[in-house]
Amino acid sequence: MSTRSLRDRMLDPSDRALALLLLSPAIVLILAIVAWPVAKLLANSVMDVRLSQGVPVRFVGLENYAAALADGMFWRAVRNTMIIVVVTVPGALVVGLALALLANMPFRSRGPIRLALLLPWAMPLAFVGLIFAWFFHSEYGIVNDVIRRLGYTPQIWFNSPALTLAAICIATIWKTSSFMALILLAGLQTIPNSLYEAAEVDGASKWTQFREITLPLLVPSMLVALIFRTLTAIQSFDIPFSMPGPGEETQTLAMYIQQQAVDYLDLGYGSAVAVFMFLLSMATTWVYLRYIRGDER
Amino acid sequence: MRSRLVAALLALLCAWPSLAQDRANLRVFVGGQQRPDIMRELFREYEAANPGVKVKLEVGGASSDLHQKYLNMVLTARDTSIDAFLIDIIRPAQFAAAGWAEPLNAYLGNDLETALGGYLPAYRAANTINGKVIALPALADSLFLYYRKDLLEKYGEEPPKTWPELARIAKKIQAGERNPDLQGLSFQGKAVEGAVCTFLLPYWSQGGEIIRDGRFAFDRAKAEAGLDMWLGMVRDGVAKRNAAEVSTDDTRKEFQAGKVIFGVVWGYGWNHFQKGADTKVSGNVGVTTLPAMPGGEPVSCMGGWNWAVSAFSKQKEEAVKLIRWLSTPYVSKQLAIRGSFHPAFTSVYEDPEVLKAVPWFQDALPVVATARARPITPVYKQVSDALRINTNVVMAGVKTPAQALDEIEQRIARAVRR
């Protein structure tokens, strides 16, 4: 705080005007592509805007919010989204960490392994969803083929909400682990080798080294990766959309918003639900940021 | 030198009127499944007959949902670049309420009766919303019951008139053929638009309606009986266990592969079954009216596409002229002969040239005549989702019919709120 006010005092008025001038394109851009849509979203969320029905636009206060809170479909979407967050975020962290440790091992063919690591990350989400939808198809899918060969009863995956969510989580973890691994790999490489050498001299086992050196020093990278992963998990759309379960039983919050606002052109209600998702994302980020700040202190 | 310049200027002036004669540059949007190649040929024909009018084709998605998503975007933005478009038979009410289609009454004027008189009555009704003519029929369609003529003959059976009869015949043939891959019946249980018809067929057959006189009128008992009928088909092994995964084209492919005795599919199936490159059922396909519920009427689900003029077009006069030509018996006949599309005119079904090209239209007319329009409402998308999704969850065994009906009622009530 004090450093900033010091710097302010050092700028004379003409410098400040120049700074403002130079910053203005960025400010205008941010206002246009961030602030304006958010303001529009908030404004729509308290209006009745139904474009396909010729109903006049009118102010309805918090009616849309109340309707969402009373709507079973909304809560089902929240529940599905939370399941995806709770399963795939730690899931991707564990798998990603394993992949990062593997890629960090001192053997020859690290190049191809790192390349293979990048592949799922580079693939479009909808692509992954469609591929996994085929894997889990009850008649033509490879998963049921394996189950059949092992002598178990094949499942009609997309007939059951629980099995569909499981399939969605598997696809999501597969897709997002590489991003986790990438960030964690960068973190791993900043850990000085001398620490491990010293631990080796002291006779620490590999497991102790991992627990006492690798994990604690990796926490900052993990937090960064977790923020990104959690936010994208809250916004899950592509994969669940391409792997639909029975009816809308596995609809996520983002899919629900898309349905209401884009398919039904009920912009008021869709905006209100979007505001809920926005709040959820903000709250999550806030928790992480507090944790990081607490850590630094 | 100067004289040459003057001559050139004069020539330019003479050419001017012909340049200005470009009366209209129309842009028309059709979907990928409506044979853009044939549409383009027809547009060339129109251009030749109407000098100065240019018609450009824009091709959209291959499913009705994708087609509509694009139009939603263009029309909510009040884009003026598209002058006319095809809309699905389920949409005129939405286009009327949203003000996206130019009502045609004023343009038709005194011709209104003659212009609309030739259409099959259901098509005329589906395109007229509160007295406003929203679109003109282009292509007709309906669900048909396709059956394996060879198998029915082998077991001495006639095409069924009711669903229980269909189940009985299917079970008899399945038992006799001893082929575990042979399905008795294939219908759409996946949450696609086809599942709306799956829900409606037995419901309508018992006299049920979704919207009566503009108000929501739902008959739970009839809806439940309908869903129970489909569930029974799966329980008895007539339809396959994963009926909830079957989409429209799955039924078509599996019937074509000889794995199905009775298939519920739209008109496009016929060409695939008889002439498809890998068809196993060519020559063995029969087509008939869909069965009724016991004591009910045979009904089919009406499909089809209609020409509408964009409310945001800047060349409405010319666009209306074009779609009026496109919605004539002449064009309808061309579409039937070149693309096997069903006409919306009774007269075209009886045309000898048409019957020569597509002989099965003789059997198709009675089916198309029993076809009913899906609920005509501005919130069709919501109604459609409520019906298709709940049909799907019932087929998947996730919800009981009673639970699904609760949700249908809640969702439609919310959609029609004022």
Backbone angles phi, psi at A106, to 5 degrees: -80, 65
Q: What is the pLDDT of residues A258-292, one digit of tens each?
A: 999 988 989 999 999 999 999 999 999 898 888 87
Residue by residue, DSSP assigns chain A as -HHHHHHHHHS-HHHHHHHHHHHHHHHHHHIIIIIHHHHHHHHHHTEE-BTTTTPPPEE-TTHHHHHHHT-HHHHHHHHHHHHHHHHHHHHHHHHHHHHHHHHTS--TTHHHHHHHHHHHHHS-HHHHHHHHHHHT-TTT-HHHHHHHHTTSPP--GGGSHHHHHHHHHHHHHHHHHHHHHHHHHHHHHTS-HHHHHHHHHTT--HHHHIIIIIHHHHHHHHHHHHHHHHHHHHT--HHHHHS--STTTT--HHHHHHIIIIIS-BHHHHHHHHHHHHHHHHHHHHHHHHHHHHHH-
**Six token digits for residue A49:** 């805007």
Q: Does A262 touch chain B (CB under 8 A)?
A: yes
Which residues from chain A sit within 8 angstroms of residue B407, using beta carbons? 72
Comparing alpha-carbon positions, the chain B residue that sits nearest to A64 is B414
Domain annotation covers residue A246: yes
CA–CA distance, B329 with B347 (Å, rounded to integer): 8
- Which residue from A164, A69, A251, A243 is spatially nearest to B385, judged by alpha carbons? A251
Q: Do B398 and A246 touch (CB under 8 A)?
A: yes
Best A44, A49, A51, A52 residue to mutate vs chain B (most B CBs within 10 Å): A52
Q: Do B97 and A54 touch (CB under 8 A)?
A: yes
Nearest to B396 among A246, A259, A264 (CB): A246
pLDDT of amino acid A277 = 95
Domains contained in chain A, number = 1
pLDDT of amino acid B111 = 82
Query: Taking the C-alpha atoms of B239, B390, B267 and B273 in order, what is their torsion angle to the nearest 10 degrees?
Result: -30
Which whole number is the average pLDDT over A25-45? Answer: 94
Domain annotation covers residue A162: yes
Q: Which residue has the higher pLDDT, A3 or A159?
A: A159
Which whole number is the average pLDDT over A93-102? Answer: 92
pLDDT of amino acid A204 = 87
pLDDT in tens, chain B (418 residues): 566 666 666 555 555 544 445 788 999 999 888 889 999 999 999 999 999 999 999 998 878 888 998 999 999 899 999 999 999 999 999 999 999 999 999 999 888 888 888 898 889 989 999 899 999 999 999 999 999 999 999 999 999 999 999 999 999 999 999 999 999 999 999 988 999 999 999 999 999 999 887 788 889 999 999 999 999 999 999 999 989 989 998 999 999 999 999 999 999 899 889 888 889 999 999 999 999 999 999 999 999 999 999 999 999 999 999 999 999 999 999 999 998 899 999 889 999 999 999 989 988 988 888 899 999 888 899 999 999 999 999 999 989 999 999 999 999 888 887 6
Q: What is the pLDDT of residues A191-217, one digit of tens each?
A: 998 998 999 898 888 889 898 899 999
Burial A236-259 (b: 16+ CB within 10 A, else e): bbbbbbbbbbbbbbbbbbbbbbbb
Which residues from chain B sit within 8 angstroms of residue A138, using beta carbons? 242, 245
Place of tokens 């060969």: A149
CA dist list (Å): A244 to A143, A171, A235, A236: 17, 13, 16, 13
State whether the Cα torsion A100-A104-A110-A111 is positive or negative.
positive
What's the whole-model pTM score?
A: 0.81
The CA distance from B400 to the nearest CA of chain A, in Å, is 13
Confidence of residue A222 (pLDDT cuts 50, 70, 90): very high
The CA distance from A71 to the nearest CA of chain B, in Å, is 10
Interface of A with B in 179-238 (CB under 8 A): none
**Six token digits for residue A144:** 């049921």
The kind and range of the H/E element at B92 are helix B92-98
Q: Does B191 touch chain A (CB under 8 A)?
A: yes
Nearest to A247 among B381, B390, B418 (CB): B390
The CA distance from B98 to the nearest CA of chain A, in Å, is 5
Q: Do A248 and B389 touch (CB under 8 A)?
A: yes
Fold of B22-141+303-369: D-Maltodextrin-Binding Protein; domain 2 (3.40.190)
Q: Does A51 touch chain B (CB under 8 A)?
A: yes
Q: Does B382 touch chain A (CB under 8 A)?
A: yes
Sorted by sequence, the CB contacts under 8 Å of residue B379 that are 6+ apart come out as A52, A53, A264, B94, B415, B416
Comparing alpha-carbon positions, the chain B residue that sits nearest to A159 is B396
CA–CA distance, B163 with B262 (Å, rounded to integer): 11
CA–CA distance, B199 with B340 (Å, rounded to integer): 27
Q: Do A264 and B382 touch (CB under 8 A)?
A: yes
Q: Do B98 and A53 touch (CB under 8 A)?
A: yes
Comparing alpha-carbon positions, the chain B residue that sits nearest to A139 is B242
Q: Does A161 touch chain B (CB under 8 A)?
A: yes
- Which residue from B51, B273, B18, B320 is spatially nearest to B149, judged by alpha carbons? B273
Q: Do B398 and A53 touch (CB under 8 A)?
A: no
pLDDT of A7 above 60: no
Q: Does B188 touch chain A (CB under 8 A)?
A: no
pLDDT of A1 above 50: no
Q: Do B94 and A159 touch (CB under 8 A)?
A: no
Comparing alpha-carbon positions, the chain A residue that sits nearest to B68 is A263
pLDDT of amino acid B369 = 84
pLDDT of amino acid B115 = 81
pLDDT of amino acid A243 = 94
pLDDT of amino acid A5 = 56
Which residue segment(s) compose the domain that A155 sits in? 77-93+122-177+220-296
Displacement of CA B350 from its chain's centroid (Å): 21
Comparing alpha-carbon positions, the chain A residue that sits nearest to B76 is A51
Question: How many Cβ atoms are within 10 Å of B354's Cβ, its own excluded?
Answer: 22
Tell me whether strands B300-309 and B211-212 are parallel, antiparallel or unpaired: unpaired
Instruction: Tell me the CATH number at A235.
Output: 1.10.3720.10
Which residues from chain A sit within 8 angstroms of residue B396, using beta carbons? 156, 158-160, 246-247
Query: Taking the C-alpha atoms of A164, A166, A168 and A172 in order, what is their torsion angle to the nearest 10 degrees?
Result: 180
Nearest to B379 among A53, A67, A159 (CB): A53
The kind and range of the H/E element at B17 are helix B2-20
CA–CA distance, B414 with B209 (Å, rounded to integer): 18
Fold matches, B22-141+303-369 and B142-301+374-415 = yes
What single DSSP character describes residue B134? -
pLDDT of amino acid A103 = 85
Which residues from chain A sit within 8 angstroms of residue B403, using beta carbons? none
The CA distance from A79 to the nearest CA of chain B, in Å, is 17
Q: Do A159 and B244 touch (CB under 8 A)?
A: yes
- By three-state DSSP, how is residue B48 classified? helix
Comparing alpha-carbon positions, the chain B residue that sits nearest to A259 is B382
Q: Which residue ranges make up each domain of chain B?
A: 22-141+303-369, 142-301+374-415
Q: Do B99 and A54 touch (CB under 8 A)?
A: yes
CA–CA distance, A230 with A236 (Å, rounded to integer): 10
State whether the Cα torsion A225-A133-A276-B94 is positive or negative.
positive
User: B142-301+374-415 maps to which CATH number?
Assistant: 3.40.190.10
The answer to whether the CB of B227 falls within 8 A of the CB of B396 is: no
Nearest to B393 among A55, A247, A263 (CB): A247
Domain annotation covers residue A227: yes
Q: Do B396 and A262 touch (CB under 8 A)?
A: no
What value of ipTM does the predicted structure carry?
Answer: 0.73
Which residues from chain B sit within 8 angstroms of residue A259, using beta carbons? 385
What value does the mean pLDDT of chain A take? Answer: 89
State whether the Cα torsion A130-A134-A136-A138 is positive or negative.
positive
Which residues from chain A sit within 8 angstroms of residue B381, using beta carbons? 52, 263-264
CA angle B391, B397, B400 (to 5 degrees): 70
Q: Do B392 and A262 touch (CB under 8 A)?
A: no
Domain annotation covers residue A200: no
CA–CA distance, A102 with B326 (Å, rounded to integer): 65
CA–CA distance, B39 with B43 (Å, rounded to integer): 6
Number of A/B CB contacts below 8 angstroms equals 77
Which residues from chain A sit within 8 angstroms of residue B398, using beta carbons? 159-161, 246-247, 249
